Amino acid sequence: MTSRFDKHQQLALSGLVLIPSVLVKRSLDEATTQIVDVGKMYTDDLPFPSCLHGEAHTWHLKWTEENSRGSAFLPTTLETTLPHATSMFPNITELLRILCTLPVTSCSAEQSFSGLKRIKTAMRSKMGNDRLTSNALLHLHRDVSVEVPTVINEFAKLHPTRLEVGNILSDN
């Protein structure tokens, strides 16, 4: 693990101890130490860094008590944990927000290069750089729906002299 990840990444990974389903499997001292260590990395971002140790202690007690009562729901992700971090835990809330924003992989960059390679191969000499960029964006963000009439109307507004046709898709 040390050969794959640097110290900063390992410390950020240990921040996952804030997730209640992970937290209840740790001893109080181990969990508190891990939370405080992660907090040291983000001291400037925490509202009350001097209170983090006590807050971590209380956070652990809250979730171990919840677990011992046989609660059916212990959050298992950072996203589902965040709503449970009330105003009583300002430092924990901020650490959860920070951890939610950390990138987890470079996969999207690799997908971008792979998609661009496919697009360039298929369209190599058929278009200019602007059109290539537009097609690449459409390929990468295929989850975004594009309404054809909206695109046509936007184009007509931007270039009124270039497009003076009615709706070519209708039979009128």
Three state DSSP letters for the chain? CCCCCCHHHHHHHHHHHHCHHHHCCCCHHHHHHHHHHHHHHCHHHCCCHHHHHHHHHHHHHHHHHHHHCCCCCCCCCHHHHHHHCCCCCHHHHHHHHHHHHCCCCCHHHHHHHHHHHHHHHHHCCCCCHHHHHHHHHHHHCCCCCCCHHHHHHHHHHHCCCCCCCCCCCCCC
Instruction: Please give the residue that has the higher pLDDT: either 114 or 64.
Output: 64
**Most confident option among 27-36, 70-79, 110-119:** 27-36
The pTM assigned to this predicted structure is 0.57
With a CB cutoff of 8 Å and minimum separation 6, the contacts of 45 are 94, 98
Work out the pLDDT band at 148, boundaries 50, 70, 90.
confident
Query: What does the alpha-carbon distance between residue 17 and residue 29 come to, in Å, rounded to a whole number?
Result: 12
Instruction: Please give the structure tokens belonging to residue 14.
Output: 């240990």
Rounded to whole angstroms, how far apart are CA atoms 166 and 172?
A: 9
Q: How does pLDDT run across 121-131, given as a tens digit for each residue?
A: 655 555 566 66
Give me the pLDDT at residue 152, please: 84
Q: How confident is the model at residue 94 (pLDDT cuts 50, 70, 90)?
A: very high
Task: Check residue 57 and give its pLDDT.
Answer: 94
Structure confidence at residue 12 as a pLDDT band (50, 70, 90): confident
Say what percent of the chain tops pLDDT 90.
20
| 30/12: higher pLDDT | 30
* Cα–Cα distance list, 35 to 24, 85, 108 (Å): 13, 14, 29
